[in-house]
Structure 1
Amino acid sequence: MPPRTAIPVGQTWFDVHKTHFSDVPVSADQHVSTTEFLAATEATITIFDLLGSPVFAPIKHDMAFNIERVRTRQIQTSHPSSTLQHLVKDELVTQNHSATMGLTWLIRGLDFLAHALRSDLTQNKDVPVTERYPKRELRESFRDSYKVTLSPYHTVVIRPIFRAAMSAAPRRKDLFIRLSGQGTDPGTTVKAMESWLTGLEVIVTILKGFLASDEVQACVPEGMQ
């Protein structure tokens, strides 16, 4: 079981984040701030350390790699990269696609996580997180989420690795224990997840729509679509 010492007594994994997705500035025209998005995403990928199996390491590594692709572009072109939409448009003009591809895969990964956790909260509504036999175990939510969010974009070589990770997901009650500091009320962790997840879903929806827009799709190679 992963150590819980990093989570203070009475708090949750969500409390140790300096930046939540709900903290990411979004302008009136739906532009998403790059710096805060990357900070929230970087905090998010630490959840894979709590899932208790080394098979999740490739997922975390892949997302960390794509965070750096976006950050590298931001550092190189700080002014036009203040929002993710500006960053992508500025990059595509140069016919470069590294950060755009990185953001595309980050959103797919975040969508996968959001879909899985939302499914758990919905399917197990009113089921205590300490329940040994919930209506639906976490691995089922992860499998279903993988099918609709990541699997369509993975090759036949990659899919077995990710499917193995889904099967290695911890039991629901164990994940909530790992998301909680010593002495934390389980109900507090559920509420914290709900709030965090709502913020994540807002950002994912905005950026999925942008990346799927004709303006972006007309400029990216077919393999990225």
Structure 2
Amino acid sequence: MAYFNTIKRSFADVDLSNGIDTNEFLEATEGMVKIFDVIGSTAFGFVQNDMNGNIKRLRLRYESNPEKNDTLEHLLEGESDESKRLATEGLLWLIRALDFTAKGLTRSLDNPDEELTYSFSVAYETTLRQYHNFLVRPVFAVSRYALYK
């Protein structure tokens, strides 16, 4: 239960009244990424590092002007005219990784006799695989294999 004590905010508590509150979304996401520490496998190091990198992109954009970037919608709007859209790209990949995590954990809970590696393998196939090239796919295969150790 120590994991739950480390979370600043749940996704259920993110204010959606005027759009998705950027800071609250980032706090909830930072808490979610810590779930990989609880699983305790280095297999998710790649995913965890990627998610933290994308959180950092969004946090830097947010902190550059918190009033202008108060919601994710405003943050994306503000970046829309720029040639490099680092926060937009970060949000896209972060959402994909959150979907992967949610599907892997949900499948594991729904199938308690199933190996965690299989649950996340199925989640990978249905969420991230289509966006990864032939160089990245083996990294995920090795990561999933590391769950057995």
Instruction: Say whether the fold is shared (TM-score over 0.5).
Output: yes
Q: 2:60 aligns with which of 60, 72, 75?
A: 72
Larger relative contact order (C-alpha < 8 A, sep ≥ 6)?
A: 1
Return the offset for 1:76: 1.5
**Is residue 87 of structure 2 the alignment partner of residue 99 of structure 1?**
yes
The gaps in structure 1 that reach 5 residues or longer are 1-10, 125-133, 172-225
Q: Which amino acid aligns with 2:42?
A: P
TM-score in terms of structure 2 length: 0.90
TM-score in terms of structure 1 length: 0.61
- Structure 2 counterpart of 1:109: 97
Number of residues of Structure 1 aligned to a counterpart in Structure 2:
149
CA-based RMSD = 1.8
The separation in 2 between residues aligned to 1:52 and 1:123, in whole angstroms, is 20
- Structure 1 counterpart of 2:106: 118
The gaps in structure 2 that reach 5 residues or longer are none
Q: Deviations over 1:155-190 (max 9, x none)?
A: 21111111221233369xxxxxxxxxxxxxxxxxxx
- Structure 1 counterpart of 2:123: 145
- Structure 1 counterpart of 2:11: 21
Q: Deviating runs (4+, > 6 A) in structure 1?
A: none
Q: Any residues of structure 2 matched to 1:132-211 within 5 Å, and which?
A: 134=113, 136-169=114-147
CA contact (8 A) 2:54 2:93 kept: yes
CA contact (8 A) 2:43 2:143 kept: yes
Work out which of the two has the higher radius of gyration on C-alpha atoms and give 1 or 2.
1
The separation in 1 between residues aligned to 2:24 and 2:67, in whole angstroms, is 15
- Structure 2 counterpart of 1:209: none
Return the offset for 1:122: 2.3
